[in-house]
Structure 1
Amino acid sequence: MIIPAFDESNGSQKDFLAFFSDVLAENVTIANYESVLGNDSKATYWLCASNVDDALKLLDAGVGKIIFNLDTYLQIENDINHVSPQRLGVVVGSSQSLSKIQQAAHQPSVYILAGDLATIAQDSNVVEFAVSAKKNLLPEGGARRICVLTDRAPQLELISSLDKVNLDVIVPKQFLTTSSPAESGKINIGQAFMASAITDRADGLYPTMVVDERKVALGLVYSSVESVAESIKTGTGVYQSRTRGLWYKGATSGATQTLLNVQFDCDADALQFTVRQNGSGFCHLNTKSCFGAESGISALEKTLFQRKQNAPEGSYTARLFNDAKLLNAKIMEEAEELCEANTKEDVAWEAADLIYFAITRCVAAGVSVSDIEKNLDKKSLKISRRPGNAKPKWEAAQNNSEKPAAPAQPAAAPQPVATESGRIKMNYHDATKISSKERADLLKRPIINSSDIMSRVTPIINAVRERGDAAVLELTAKFDRVQLPTTVIKAPFSPECMQLDEKTKAAIDQAYDNIYKFHDAQMDRETLVVETMPGVVCSRFARPIEKVGLYVPGGTAVLPSSALMLGIPAKVAGCKQIVLATPPRPDGSIVPDVMYVAHKVGATHVVTAGGAQAVAAMAYGTETIPKVDKICGPGNQYVTAAKMLAQNDSSCLVSIDMPAGPSEVLVVADQNSNPAYVASDLLSQAEHGADSQVVLVAAGITDEKLAEIEEQIHVQASRLPRVDIVRQSIPKSYTLRVANLSEAMDFSNDYAPEHLILHIDNAEDAIPLVQNAGSVFVGAYSPESCGDYASGTNHTLPTYGYSRMYSGVNTLTFVKHITSQQLTADGLNRLGDTVMQLAEREGLEAHRNAVAIRVADLRK
């Protein structure tokens, strides 16, 4: 392949060199590089440097590659070993010096030889070195290059033959021309460039991908040696039509192209033209690309530039262009909201808002997205790094926003301590060395800012209550990024939406059977009858809640287990209408696992929405989504807030299963526990989310045993796909060492965990000591995972300490109890005086009279 070179001392001009990805610039120094290279990107240039300081300054300035002579490179090798080899080259000189550079520990990406091309091509040492260098890929990808600097115009055939053995040819600009035929002593630059190209097509053409400044594909065309040479000569997009010959893009339509760069792919059998597209677009259908309309940031940029030129009257974007203060205020507002966003969906949503206003600011100043990307690329080339601290006013603002909560609020849970580099480690506390206040702090969970969450959820609930299906569809498009035609799928469900492999179906079926068996045994089918006194019979009987809503978290996740845990007890209870809500996947469908479970439990509707809008739809009802009487199911803080807001609205008339916080587990382990098992149970909960909390209460454990558990936590966590989440949750968690099992169970009952796991001898004997827990896992062979999926118990459990007063979801969650009483005449006569006396004491004469009027008849 040919690499152009120019020597500024000879007054050479750059002109067509700008189209090449690599250009050697001789006699360009630290003193004159700015004036010679101008303000454009310097990433394509190779500049020579004689010392480390100059080299680093040039690299920081964005120069693509720094070339040293061999002796200098060997002297300063240790001073530049932090620089990527991709940015370094060495002038080796003669082929005899190759062995010398091979001794360097930090091999560069480019080696430059000088001499007669034909002679070098015959040198077996050079060829062997070139072939081996090409196979020795760079750490960041790409092949090392061996270049030969020539002092005359080479033959095109020689360029081709050298390329076959990985030898590039550096040709000074004075030997290059765009004329065809070339002047005496020169070669045509386009022909020289294409001398290394390969094609297996009968017509000798080369597939060419045309891309814009952002490397977005515009279309596929063909090139020839002649068309490439003409394109470089004119600085425009020129291609080879298979029917019309040379094709000057836009010559008739006006949609011309300004050539920016030409390069081969890795096999030199295809080309990429980078162009600036002018006019209506590349495609004859008047779109920018042959692959359809623009989208995302490209579409936004295009719209904003159009709005800047000719915005519709009353357009918000036009207002932003005309009101700099408003635009600046919106950028700062959206930046703050992005910093406050917590969930993945919120971060994406707020980032999109910020990008819109930021690009509007750029367009107002005439800055394109391509300009932004060029600056990003330039900054990525910097070698020296600033500390990166925020300016004082922003540091102060952030510090002020993190002041301690007001005294009326509970104190935050203990903050994570710094761990040794890279090690995943829980905090440690010894019960004998902490104060009663410190112990009380360990019982607290991280504070949830409910007021902020409620303020975000309330408008969502109001929108759904007021506008029904339309609001649900809009909010699903906003938060789930899915445009849906309808909000609900009604039973019976199509077999196509429930297609599963047999192994998955068998697993769901077995889990279903176990969960059903356990929950069926809980059903209260007998009427309780008690004669409280002669002639007075009181009874209590169960009836199903008629309409229930089940919230199953999901979207990109597959959570058939939550559908089973909620749907089965509702079915056992006999609920007449089971409405299941779950977020849709990116294509708008519901995962087949959940649909299969919905079918098995007899769901009547599946709502294709998630978050607060799904809760609101079930709580208030819409045109297509039935209103329910009770909503059950886990979810994030927005789902929980929506459930609580709906329950507190008397006009809604809906109840919920329980409040909820982040998932948690407390493990009690003794000296005989298996460290690997203990660690695995802690981690199975820690991977739920960054806000999950796991607690290990070590009862009478030695230092050695505790060290084994800690080692297992680190080793097992490091192998997990969700290790990044674990790295956030584990440092917020802790180990508490206590003297014995009695102290361990006291702490557990005070903590009131969602999951309690007993890794102790004779674990079943400790069950009578359990006062507060969502679910208990007894012994070494009862991992929490079994309860989460298929043992039979329910995994929708009270968190955040609510197990002190709430049960987990069960069959009775979906029934209500009705009492009745029946009195005979004798019974009323016996009880009447008591009732009348109490009614008289309360001043409720009508109550007294309802009894007195009957008793008077009985006692005549």
Structure 2
Amino acid sequence: MATPFVVSYDPATASDGLTLQQIAYFGRVLIKATDLAQTESFIRQNFRLLDIYVDATSISSSGDLVDILNAGAAKIFISLDQLTALSEEQSVPSSRLVVYTSSDDQVETFQKWVVKHIEREEAGLCIASDAVHPVSVKLGLNPEAQLLYRTYSEEISEDAIKETMKQGGVSIVPASTLAVSREESSGKIQAGSLIAARGVKDQGNGLYATTVSDERGVSLGFVWSSDESIAEALRTGTGVYQSRKRGLWYKGQSSGDVQELIRIGFDCDSDCLVFVVKQSGRGFCHLGTASCFGPYTGLSRLQKTLQARKADAPAGSYTARLFNEPKLTQAKIMEEADELCRAETKEDIAFEAADLLYFALTRCVAAGVSLEDVERNLDLKSLKVKRRKGDAKGPWAEKAGLAEKPAEKPVEKAAPKEEPKEDTSRIEMTRVVTASTSVEKVHDYLKRPSQKSNDAIVGLVKPIIKDVVEQGDAGVLKYTHKFEKATSLTSPVIKAPFPAELMKLSPDVQEAIDVSISNIAKFHSAQKGSNDSLSMETMPGVVCSRFSRPIERVGCYIPGGTAVLPSTAMMLGVPAMVAGCKKIVFASPPRSDGSITPEIVYVAHKVGAESIVLAGGAQAVAAMAYGTESVSKVDKILGPGNQFVTAAKMLVSNDTSANVSIDMPAGPSEVLVVADKTANPAFVASDLLSQAEHGVDSQVILIAIDLNEQELKAIEDEVDRQARALPRMDIVRGSLEHSVTFVVRDLEEAMALSNNYAPEHLILQIDNAEAAVEKVQNAGSVFIGQWTPESVGDYSAGVNHSLPTYGYAKQYSGVNLGSFLKHITSSNLTADGLLGLSKTVETLAAVEGLDAHKRAVSIRVAAMKQQ
């Protein structure tokens, strides 16, 4: 699926032209080798992104040329002299070589070499002439095989590249001459135009037939593209297509199932465009499946399940246990590998191999390694031209009988495991009728799922914090390289002003963020009145006052990785901006290429953030708490995160040397819905499930006011039906197992139960819901009426979605403007004021035995009397 050009790129001038991430859209890059070690390092760091071609004409040693190929270069560009020397290296396949020629004589020499040395494989040729077609005919090259490359000595133009393309040649185009955005072109060549020039349009609609696949090559669906949609996809770095009915189609703009663009190319004869994307959300299909051809199967399905388990860490699941107990995973891998080695029948071998792949992939996902990473490494191994012998190491060779070993007892083969059966039982909540249930029992049902001890988590987090404190930037990078696999990062932070290319968004996404920021800013700005200064005279001559000041430096933690969470960035960044915090620092895990999602960069830009720390987990919390060479120390850290983030926040807040505070304790997400006979059953079920899908440790509560059996069953049927349509059905099932429906007599009883529970989210789907708000005593945030789903609070209504959970709504507020302020009091007494208060203060100081306190007053009073 190659494009009709190769982008040449100089890492030393990386800021000139396209970024490496943008070059990856076109699949191939040509770099010039000036230093062997640096070249091999570049290949190792970026081979996952794209095919790397190397101009190795400056490398004199044939052995070094082989080393470059062995490091993973897809092809090397060499001279005729180097070609002759490499002929002696029998292991070098000619398909990995492209030869530079500068004259007809050199083309003749190349042709003779081809006839002499090549039987089946074909070497490539690179010329500096526009005579592409004559040379192709002379050598008998297939124009679709992309074996003839062209460089340009004169100024390169779009027309020249397109003419070379027509003749079957591949142009070498410098990154500095290309642009993916018309706004930034400044006379540069539009890469989208070059892509479109190769495509063959459908005769019926004038569009390009397009297949969309994921990173593993699994087909997600069939769509159409246009010149405009191709250009927009490259500009935004997302999946953008052409709807025959609605015009430009920004995939995921309404569903949230967005796509990150990985690569664009064509099939063999250019009549089908190919988009390779990283799909987020439920999947590609509008029906909620991974692809339009049905759900994922096999390893792809297993990977999606494991990644979901890791993201939500559902308590009680076996996979969650494997993630939390790495030694158990290691033991299971060794156990299953041994069982696979001892399996004999075809069925047993397949069964044991499946077990081994499950545990091996769990190990990979725990470390942030994907199947795409594994497969790319397999591809890299296939590129090696020098191979080690590959014998088994001593202990393993001995165990397999390849070497002498001491006698040992035969090991009995384990009985085949029984495959778990799919749970087809009804998905439902426990129903409790309060009128026939004791008060004690009702209170028991109100209890949250118990949380496990975090001693093990703290044990893992402490060394990370210690490394960051002692090593600074190096400590942060160490764990970012380890956990996020962003090995190309050399700095853990990007500073404002943020480059425009880091926040390229589709117009719809940008508008959605702008509207949300505006609403959040309006609501939090309106809170200023409650935090303004106050001043009062408590008695004649004694004036007490209070005034607020913004916390100077705040750190906003935004979970990331595979997810895109601009909502959290807005919920933390906007109030910090409104409060007037002098320094706002974002922290979010980067993607494996070291980049950060453009939505987060855009929000950081909008709220005036000073920097973005490219790190997640405990290392990000530690970096902001203590500061490093590049990361600014903050005074308060706010934001949600997994158990490692929460543990790190608690640890640094209790360390006096860090001198940092945090927002609030965190727990699993939860919702309580109060519904009466006017409530729509489908609405009620959707609200319950929107929180149940967070994780199996989440809890949802329904309080049904005087509903009869038919009305209750209508809601329960909707819960079961909607839950079965969700990709996270297993998680929802686990959550609903400890969730409860309380059937109560009236609104008074309903609100008493709700206040006792103190939910994170309280939804009132009842008649005259506004009037019931005055009865709310404990809740994180309230959603009033049937047209107010909790989702609007998560994103765009204006209220904040960082809220107290696990019953902490009885003591804590959610994040608000006051979270970013501190209040200072002052006293201002006249001489008469002090004289009038002196006896009171002196008496109390004497009671407490604090003579210096008493004297501070009496000395002043004596001075007054002497005047």
What TM-score range do you get, normalising by the shorter chain? 0.5 to 0.7
Going from structure 1 to structure 2, the CA distance change for 1:343 and 1:562 (only over 3 Å counts) comes to: farther
- Deviation by residue 1:758-791 (Cα, 9 ceiling, x = unmatched): 0111111111111000000011111101111111
**Aligned with 1:738 (options 719, 741, 744):** 744
Equivalent-residue separation in structure 2 for 1:828 and 1:777 (angstroms): 51
Equivalent-residue separation in structure 1 for 2:520 and 2:319 (angstroms): 32
Equivalent-residue separation in structure 2 for 1:832 and 1:549 (angstroms): 45
1:560 is aligned to 566
**Aligned with 2:576 (options 567, 570, 575):** 570
Cα offset, 1:466, TM superposition: 2.1
**Aligned with 1:431 (options 425, 429, 434):** 434
2:683 is aligned to 677
User: Are 2:599 and 1:598 aligned?
Assistant: no
Deviates more, 1:424-433 or 1:612-621: 424-433
Q: Please give the secondary structure, in 1, of the residue aligned with 2:855.
A: helix
Q: Please give the secondary structure, in 1, of the residue aligned with 2:703.
A: strand
8 Å CA contact 1:686, 1:726 repeated in 2 = yes
1:520 is aligned to 525
**Aligned with 2:836 (options 823, 830, 834):** 830
2:734 is aligned to 728
Q: Which has the larger radius of gyration?
A: 1
Cα offset, 1:353, TM superposition: 8.9
Equivalent residue pairs, number: 498
Equivalent-residue separation in structure 2 for 1:579 and 1:782 (angstroms): 32
Letter in 2 for 1:784: E
8 Å CA contact 1:419, 1:425 repeated in 2 = no
8 Å CA contact 1:632, 1:657 repeated in 2 = yes
**Aligned with 1:468 (options 463, 472, 476):** 472
8 Å CA contact 2:449, 2:699 repeated in 1 = no
2:490 is aligned to 485
Which aligned pairs between 1:141-156 and structure 2 lie closer than 5 A?
none
Letter in 2 for 1:481: K
Letter in 2 for 1:498: M
Equivalent-residue separation in structure 1 for 2:785 and 2:345 (angstroms): 56
Q: Please give the secondary structure, in 2, of the residue aligned with 1:586.
A: coil
Letter in 2 for 1:379: D
Q: Please give the secondary structure, in 2, of the residue aligned with 1:612.
A: helix
**Aligned with 1:813 (options 808, 819, 837):** 819
**Aligned with 1:660 (options 657, 663, 666):** 666
1:540 is aligned to 546
Going from structure 1 to structure 2, the CA distance change for 1:722 and 1:460 (only over 3 Å counts) comes to: same
1:502 is aligned to 507
Cα offset, 1:435, TM superposition: 2.9
8 Å CA contact 1:637, 1:661 repeated in 2 = no
Cα offset, 1:354, TM superposition: 4.7
8 Å CA contact 2:314, 2:697 repeated in 1 = no
Cα offset, 1:445, TM superposition: 1.5
Equivalent-residue separation in structure 2 for 1:341 and 1:652 (angstroms): 35
Letter in 1 for 2:654: N
- Deviation by residue 1:124-148 (Cα, 9 ceiling, x = unmatched): xxxxxxxxxxxxxxxxxxxxxxxxx
Cα offset, 1:722, TM superposition: 2.8
Equivalent-residue separation in structure 1 for 2:636 and 2:330 (angstroms): 40
Cα offset, 1:478, TM superposition: 2.5
Equivalent-residue separation in structure 2 for 1:566 and 1:579 (angstroms): 10
Going from structure 1 to structure 2, the CA distance change for 1:649 and 1:599 (only over 3 Å counts) comes to: same
8 Å CA contact 1:661, 1:799 repeated in 2 = yes
Going from structure 1 to structure 2, the CA distance change for 1:841 and 1:352 (only over 3 Å counts) comes to: closer
- Deviation by residue 1:683-738 (Cα, 9 ceiling, x = unmatched): 11112222211111111111101111011111122222333322322223221111
Q: Please give the secondary structure, in 1, of the residue aligned with 2:435.
A: coil
**Aligned with 1:459 (options 457, 463, 475):** 463
8 Å CA contact 2:343, 2:349 repeated in 1 = no
Going from structure 1 to structure 2, the CA distance change for 1:602 and 1:720 (only over 3 Å counts) comes to: same
Letter in 2 for 1:516: A
Equivalent-residue separation in structure 1 for 2:820 and 2:351 (angstroms): 63
**Identical-residue share of aligned pairs (%):** 54
- Deviation by residue 1:779-823 (Cα, 9 ceiling, x = unmatched): 111110111111110000000000000000001100001111111
1:268 is aligned to none
2:770 is aligned to 764
8 Å CA contact 1:551, 1:634 repeated in 2 = yes
Cα offset, 1:613, TM superposition: 1.5
Going from structure 1 to structure 2, the CA distance change for 1:582 and 1:345 (only over 3 Å counts) comes to: farther
Equivalent-residue separation in structure 2 for 1:219 and 1:649 (angstroms): 60
Equivalent-residue separation in structure 2 for 1:712 and 1:804 (angstroms): 32
Equivalent-residue separation in structure 1 for 2:727 and 2:116 (angstroms): 54
Equivalent-residue separation in structure 2 for 1:422 and 1:572 (angstroms): 50
Going from structure 1 to structure 2, the CA distance change for 1:548 and 1:651 (only over 3 Å counts) comes to: same
2:588 is aligned to 582
8 Å CA contact 2:556, 2:584 repeated in 1 = yes
Cα offset, 1:644, TM superposition: 1.2
Going from structure 1 to structure 2, the CA distance change for 1:382 and 1:450 (only over 3 Å counts) comes to: closer
Letter in 2 for 1:856: A
TM superposition score normalised by structure 1: 0.54
2:707 is aligned to 701
1:212 is aligned to none
Which aligned pairs between 1:742-821 and structure 2 lie closer than 5 A?
742-821=748-827
Cα offset, 1:246, TM superposition: 7.8
Going from structure 1 to structure 2, the CA distance change for 1:341 and 1:591 (only over 3 Å counts) comes to: farther
Which aligned pairs between 1:172-183 and structure 2 lie closer than 5 A?
none
8 Å CA contact 2:322, 2:328 repeated in 1 = no
Going from structure 1 to structure 2, the CA distance change for 1:562 and 1:421 (only over 3 Å counts) comes to: same
User: Are 2:854 and 1:848 aligned?
Assistant: yes
Letter in 2 for 1:675: P
Q: Please give the secondary structure, in 2, of the residue aligned with 1:522.
A: helix
2:634 is aligned to 628
Cα offset, 1:622, TM superposition: 1.4
Letter in 2 for 1:712: E
Cα offset, 1:347, TM superposition: 4.8
Cα offset, 1:375, TM superposition: 6.2
Unaligned 5+ segments in structure 2 are 1-91, 97-113, 122-312, 356-420
**Aligned with 1:440 (options 438, 443, 451):** 443
Q: Please give the secondary structure, in 2, of the residue aligned with 1:445.
A: coil
Letter in 2 for 1:461: I
2:70 is aligned to none
Going from structure 1 to structure 2, the CA distance change for 1:681 and 1:376 (only over 3 Å counts) comes to: farther
Equivalent-residue separation in structure 1 for 2:331 and 2:116 (angstroms): 44
Equivalent-residue separation in structure 2 for 1:356 and 1:474 (angstroms): 26
Letter in 2 for 1:441: D
Cα offset, 1:431, TM superposition: 1.4
Equivalent-residue separation in structure 1 for 2:738 and 2:544 (angstroms): 52
**Aligned with 1:379 (options 337, 345, 348):** 348
Going from structure 1 to structure 2, the CA distance change for 1:538 and 1:246 (only over 3 Å counts) comes to: closer
Which aligned pairs between 1:263-412 and structure 2 lie closer than 5 A?
347=322, 354-355=329-330, 372=341, 378-379=347-348
8 Å CA contact 2:314, 2:695 repeated in 1 = no
CA RMSD in angstroms, aligned pairs only: 3.4
8 Å CA contact 1:341, 1:350 repeated in 2 = no
Going from structure 1 to structure 2, the CA distance change for 1:798 and 1:349 (only over 3 Å counts) comes to: closer
Going from structure 1 to structure 2, the CA distance change for 1:376 and 1:830 (only over 3 Å counts) comes to: farther
Letter in 1 for 2:434: A
Equivalent-residue separation in structure 2 for 1:749 and 1:790 (angstroms): 26
Equivalent-residue separation in structure 2 for 1:426 and 1:597 (angstroms): 39
8 Å CA contact 2:493, 2:613 repeated in 1 = yes
Unaligned 5+ segments in structure 1 are 1-217, 223-240, 249-337, 387-417
- Deviation by residue 1:590-643 (Cα, 9 ceiling, x = unmatched): 111111001101110101111121111111111211111001111112211111
Cα offset, 1:344, TM superposition: 8.2
